[in-house]
Structures are given as C-alpha cells and as structure tokens.
Amino acid sequence: MNRLSEDLHAWLEGVLPLCSEKASLDARRPCSPLPFELAVQVMGDCADVARRRAFVRGLCEVVRTLAEDFPDNIFWDLDHLCNCMWNAGAPEAIEGFAHRVAVLCRGFGNKSELRFRYAHDFLYGYDWARWVSRQPEERAGIGPFDLAFFDYLDSRRQTLVELIASNDQKYGQLHGQEFRNPFTFCREPREEAHLHQVLAQADLIPVKAWRMDGERRWDLPFTDLRAEAAKRLGIARGPIS
C-alpha cells in the first residue's frame, strides 16, 4: 500500500465504527460494504490525488452525518450514492455533492424539526419516484442523486417546516422524542426491516442503491405498493388525514 492509500485508509478507518456490519437490501451479501471497500471500488486506479482525497473527505462527511442524524437507519447501501459522488467530476464538485447530501440529512434527520427516523426513502428512491411520476416528461432523465432533485428536496423541506409551524394535521408539531411518521404503516425498526426486505425480494424498490449503476424505476406506484405490502404484513396503522 502506497502512502496515499495509507492516508485514505486512515481517514476512512475513522468512520468505520459508525457503519460496520450494517444491513443491506441485497440478499446476496451479509451486510453493506464498508467505506474503504466502496472507495476502492469506486476510485479504482485513478491517480488524481486531489480527486481521491476529495472523494474520501466527502464520503467521511456523508457517513458521519448519516450516523449522527439517522442513528436508527437500518439499511446502508451507499454504492450508487458513492458512484454518483465520484462521477460528480472535479474535486470541488465531489466535495460540493457530499456537502449537499450531508445538509439534506441534517435537514430531515433526528435533530431537525422534521425528525424522520430513517434515510431509506432517500437512499432507495421512494421520494424520487414520487417526484418523477408527477412530471415524467420533464423529470424521467433526472436521477435520485442528481443536483436537480436535491434542489427539490431543499424546497420540500422548507414546505414541511412551514406546515409544522402551522401545526398542520398531517405534518404537525411533535412531542418529546417521538419520530415523524406520516405514513399509513408502522415504522418501528423490526417492521421497517421486514417490510423493505419483502419489497426487495419482490423487486419493488425504486432504486437499487446496492448497485453501482443504481438501476432505477419510477413508473410503478411504489408508495401505494409499499402501503399495500404493509397491510398484508399486518403493520398498517390506519389512514393519515
């Protein structure tokens, strides 16, 4: 291992305890890849030192933010996200991409007014598929980790904050340490894991985040299909007004 690889490995080792032995929705692997494994796969034999360092710094920022703002997150398939980060291009673009992801996580996570418990809807494309389906002729070519979609999520977050401030019936103010759940099914960890494993087995996950190419589909009613699966599994909790 050369000196640069040693440096990169040392940086990534710093976030290893945050994401070791995390689950994957890919039934063929026992757990999601470690940051160093993803970095090796994504960067390959690229000799651009600045780009490699920017990617590792960005990956560390994303992993730390996910761990801090979504500490209960169950599935950690970051393969496609990492590939998109690397393909952002120049070092500044890579770091900018990572920072956008980190800001989004902080804006929706457990320290924000929104207090969502998991990043699954972001990582596996449920938010993205809903967004594309509203205007497919304009949005079908935009990926779940493209900056245009990040812009939408920023705007959506602000809308939700305003609804919370007005104590909206669906997006009202929370009490104590409860998590926000506007869905019609239970999202406690056991139920969350089982539901999404069943959906993955049925090939009903919008974005296969465990693949580098992030094979994706938007043209199925994934939100409704997930709610129907939850009902079949006995974890529905009644309609949200």
Instruction: Give the separation between CA 81 and CA 63, rounded to whole angstroms.
Output: 11
- Give me the mean pLDDT over the 194-218 stretch: 97
Taking the whole predicted model, whether its pTM rises above 0.75 is answered as yes
Burial class (CB in 10 A: 0-12, 13-18, 19+), 112: middle
CA–CA distance from 192 to each of 122, 197, 227 (Å)?
15, 9, 12
In the numeric block, the tokens 């969350």 are attached to: 192
User: What pLDDT, on a 0 to 100 scale, did the predictor assign at position 241?
Assistant: 42
Token representation of residue 108: 């929706």
Instruction: Give the separation between CA 16 and CA 51, rounded to whole angstroms.
Output: 21
Helix (H, G, I), strand (E, B) or coil at 228: helix
- pLDDT band for position 176 (cuts 50, 70, 90): confident
**Number of helices followed by number of strands (H, E) in the chain:** 12, 0
Q: Which helix (H) or strand (E) holds 40?
A: helix 35-43
CA–CA distance from 9 to each of 57, 82, 95 (Å)?
11, 16, 18
Residue 216 pairs with which residues in a beta bridge? Answer: 207
Instruction: Give the separation between CA 196 and CA 58, rounded to whole angstroms.
Output: 28
- Give me the mean pLDDT over the 55-63 stretch: 92
Q: For residue 178, give the DSSP letter.
A: P
User: What pLDDT, on a 0 to 100 scale, did the predictor assign at position 231?
Assistant: 96
Burial class (CB in 10 A: 0-12, 13-18, 19+), 75: buried
**pLDDT tens across 96-107, in order?**
999 999 999 999
User: CA nearest 79: which of 123, 141, 140, 135?
Assistant: 123
Instruction: Give the separation between CA 107 and CA 113, rounded to whole angstroms.
Output: 8
> Which segment of 5-9, 203-207, 228-232 scores lowest on mean pLDDT?
5-9
Instruction: Give the separation between CA 145 and CA 84, rounded to whole angstroms.
Output: 7
- Give me the mean pLDDT over the 52-57 stretch: 91
CA–CA distance from 113 to each of 69, 81, 174 (Å)?
12, 25, 8
- Give me the mean pLDDT over the 147-167 stretch: 96
In the numeric block, the tokens 């990534």 are attached to: 12
Burial class (CB in 10 A: 0-12, 13-18, 19+), 96: middle
**Contact present, 115 and 179 (Cβ < 8 Å):** yes
